[in-house]
Amino acid sequence: MLDGIRDAVRKFLGGNTSYEVAVEEFIKDIQKALISSDVQVKLVFSLTNKIKERLKKETPPSNLERREWFIKIVYDELSALFGGDKEPEVNPKSIPWVIMLVGVQGTGKTTTAGKLAYFYKKRGYKVALVGADVYRPAALEQLQQIGKQINVPVYGEPGSQDAVGIAKRGVEKFLSERYELVIVDTAGRHGYGEEVKLLEEMKDIYEKIKPNEVILVIDASLGQKAYDLAKRFHEASNVGSIIITKMDGTAKGGGALSAVAATGAPIKFIGVGEKIDELEVFNPRRFVARILGMGDLEAIIEKMKAMEDYEGIQKKMGEVMTGKSKLTLRDMYKQIVAVRKMGPLSKILQLIPGMNMMGDIPEDQVKVGEQKMQRWLSIMNSMTYQELDNPSIIDKQRMRRIAMGSGTEVEEVRELIEHFNTVQRTLKMLKRRKKDVEKLFGQMGG
Ligand SMILES: Nc1nc2c(ncn2[C@@H]2O[C@H](COP(=O)(O)OP(=O)(O)OP(=O)(O)O)[C@@H](O)[C@H]2O)c(=O)[nH]1
Ligand SMILES: [Mg+2]
């Protein structure tokens, strides 16, 4: 999925087919990528239909290209499915608050019970745990160990087979002791009759303890099965929220989308590791970016735009190296502006095909700090066109004038010019490696 979507975005933004054809193709690519990442087919189509509809109804803002705008719509709609810009409310709506965790075996219920206890304890709540799993060997010991680690009491009845009774007695005990948050861990397997029995038991516990909130715990790698599974748990116990575990181990998580659709419940947390503090409050946009494998999509959109400017500059550099044109401070000005938009130069170089060949240029030779860039831009703004196009005419007197005009020091003006000379030398050095360079600029269409 990661590569699928990323490739689709690249293809879409960089393609030379007509916009209409590209959109059709891009939508198909997205559908394919989502379906292969276990998002339910029905859901994928309702999503893409919505996107198509917006595409017809709306017009892009003037500062965005149509294609970029389209990508933004895709990102928005996908994020909207998960709650959009809202982070979920995770604090209990009232006190006391009883949480019951449900989910199939091995998804991480017990671990998550501990993580939640720790999370809320740190927020100042008086928290307790109840171990109502009587089927998994050593389930109670597992929970007790976690409880001990975070100093939270655990109720359990060793040897008992009465899961419903344990849950009820545990909750009652802690509520009578004025605990504010009671978290009940349940079984993920059942000795006899498996799933049907398990769901019956969940229903039973649910009705006896009347929790304020049932949280469905699902594993990020669950996939297509998530929809039906979530639906069945929802019917048994009225799922109120969802926690996706093991987000650290997979780039998938498409099943999460299906679980949300099946229950109408929001995702509250994601588990990102086995340790007690590896639980994050769910953030829809970050999550979508994560399952899409695109980092921060909005930043990418901006970078892609800056990349075009940058490639224009690179083309110019290519011309400079082949002697077709001369390097000027104007080029460097543009370069600095583009680089500032794009982030660290080393990262940018990796983004441009063929650029890794330049890997042996010392990093600090091309690295310029953010603050310095800002001052250099001011300096260049105080230069005449003549000076920008032909920096060698800048003598001491001109330096003084430029420094005054830009509110900087003569030393800084000198430094800028020295940097310019270094860049020029670097380009000459690259020129000597003509073969590499030709290959490089050939690839970039320069
Ligand atoms: N990497 C990773 N592992 C996790 C995460 N959450 C749980 N695990 C691991 O998943 C395994 C199963 O976790 P449990 O908490 O025992 O799962 P369970 O749902 O209680 O299992 P049953 O009691 O058998 O139903 C353990 O090895 C956990 O350490 C997570 O967010 N990331
Ligand atoms: Mg367990």
**pLDDT, tens only, 170-211:** 999 999 999 999 999 999 987 656 788 899 999 999 999 999
257 & 339 share domain: no
Cβ–ligand 1 distance for 106 under 6 Å, the answer yes
Q: Is-contact 317 311, C-beta < 8 A?
A: no
Residue 362 token pair: 């010392």
Does residue 126 or residue 369 have the better pLDDT? Answer: 126
Q: Could you tell me the CATH number of the domain that includes residue 376?
A: 1.10.260.30
Model confidence over 213-261: pLDDT tens digits?
A: 999 999 988 877 788 889 999 999 999 999 999 988 765 666 777 788 7
Structure-token pair, residue 129: 């745990």
CA distance 244 to 189: 19
Same structural domain for residues 329 and 253? no
Residue with CA nearest ligand 1 atom 6: 108
Strand, helix or coil for residue 269: strand
- Is 188 near ligand 1, meaning CB less than 6 Å away? yes
Q: Is residue 90 part of a domain?
A: no
Which residue's C-alpha comes closest to atom 1 of ligand 1?
A: 273
Ligand 1 within 6 A of 111 CB? yes
pLDDT band at 276 (very low <50, low <70, confident <90, very high): very high
* pLDDT tens, position by position, 296-355: 455 545 555 566 666 677 777 777 777 787 878 888 787 777 666 655 544 444 443 333
Are residues 254 and 215 both part of a single domain? yes
| CA 141/CA 131 separation, integer angstroms | 9
Q: How remote is the CA of residue 105 from the centroid of ligand 1, in Å?
A: 9
Residue 73: CATH number of its domain: 1.20.120.140
**Which residues make up each annotated binding site?**
103-110, 185-189, 245-248
- Say how many Å lie between the CA of residue 216 and the centre of ligand 2: 13
Question: pLDDT value at position 393?
Answer: 94
pLDDT tens across 66-97, in order? Answer: 776 777 788 888 888 777 877 888 999 999 99
Atom of ligand 1 lying closest to residue 111 CA: 15
How far is ligand 1, taken at its centre, from the CA of residue 219, in Å?
9
- Cα 2 to ligand 1 centroid, rounded to whole Å: 24
Q: Are 399 and 337 in contact (CB under 8 A)?
A: no
Contact 192, 79 (CB under 8 A): no
314 vs 124, residue with greater confidence: 124
Structure confidence by residue, pLDDT tens digits, 96-112: 999 999 999 999 999 99
Question: Are 75 and 117 within one domain?
Answer: no
Residue 369 banded pLDDT, cuts 50, 70, 90: low
Domain boundary among 56, 81, 106: 81
Find the CATH number of the domain harbouring 189: 3.40.50.300
Where does the pLDDT of residue 41 fall: very low under 50, low under 70, confident under 90, or very high at 90 and above? confident
**Residue 346 belongs to some domain of the structure:** yes
Please state the residue numbers annotated as binding site for GTP: 103-110, 185-189, 245-248
Measured in Å, residue 169 CA sits from the centre of ligand 2 at: 19
Q: Which ligand is nearest to the CA of 189?
A: 1
Q: Are 406 and 382 in contact (CB under 8 A)?
A: yes
The answer to the question of residue 89 being in a domain is no
Instruction: Say yes or no: 255 and 152 in one domain.
Output: yes
Q: Are residues 314 and 224 in the same domain?
A: no
Give the residue from 213, 226, 216 showing the smallest Cα distance to 261: 226
How far is it, in rounded angstroms, from Cα 272 to Cα 293?
A: 16
Mark whether 246 and 127 lie in a shared domain: yes
Residues 165 and 265 in one domain: yes
Among 109, 111, 142, 194, say which to mutate for ligand 1: greatest number of ligand atoms within 8 Å of CB.
111
Same domain, 53 and 120: no
Which residue among 81, 115, 140 closes a domain?
81
Contacts of 224 (CB under 8 A, 6+ apart): 38, 40, 255, 258
Question: Is residue 200 located within the same domain as residue 167?
Answer: yes
Domain that holds residue 69: 2-81
Q: How far is CA 57 from CA 16, 21, 50, 51, 80, in A?
A: 24, 18, 11, 10, 18
> Ligand 1 pocket check: which of 134, 202, 222, 274 to mutate, most ligand atoms within 8 Å of Cβ?
274
User: Distance (Å, rounded) from C-alpha 140 to C-alpha 157?
Assistant: 8
In a domain? residue 92? no
- Whether 149 is covered by a domain: the verdict is yes
Which residue among 129, 245, 280 is best mutated to probe the pocket of ligand 1, counting the most ligand atoms within 8 A of its Cβ? 245
Q: How many domains does the chain have?
A: 3
Cβ of 271 less than 6 Å from ligand 1: yes
Nearest Cα neighbor of 236 from 433, 338, 102, 48 is 102
How far lies 167's CA from each of 203, 242, 305, in Å? 12, 21, 57
| CA 257 from centroid of its chain's CA atoms | 15
Q: Is residue 7 part of a domain?
A: yes
The residue whose two tokens read 């390097």 is 327
Q: Contact, 246 vs 219, CB < 8 A?
A: yes
Residue 153: count other Cβ atoms within 10 Å of its Cβ: 18
Number of Cβ within 10 Å of residue 397's Cβ equals 8
Please give the pLDDT value at position 354: 37
Domain end position, chosen among 259, 283, 307: 283
Within a domain: 59: yes
- Co-location of 269 and 399 in the same domain: no
Q: Is residue 67 part of a domain?
A: yes
Is the CB of residue 375 less than 8 Å from the CB of residue 408? Answer: yes
How far is ligand 2, taken at its centre, from the CA of residue 330, in Å? Answer: 64
Query: Which tokens belong to 427?
Result: 């380009």
Q: How far is CA 299 from CA 65, 72, 266, 302, 304, in A?
A: 15, 11, 26, 5, 8
> Do 269 and 356 fall into the same domain?
no
Tokens of 412: 């800084």
Report how far ligand 2's centroid is from the alpha carbon of 133 (Å).
Answer: 7
pLDDT score for 19:
83
Run of H or E residues at 446: none
What's the pLDDT band for 288 if we cut at 50, 70, 90? confident
Looking at residue 185, its pLDDT comes to 98
Give the ligand whose atoms come closest to the C-alpha of residue 221: 1
Residues 6 or more apart whose Cβ sits within 8 Å of residue 11: 25, 26, 29
pLDDT tens digit string along 392-428?
A: 999 999 999 999 999 999 999 999 999 888 877 777 7
For residues 216 and 103, the answer to whether their CB atoms sit within 8 Å is yes
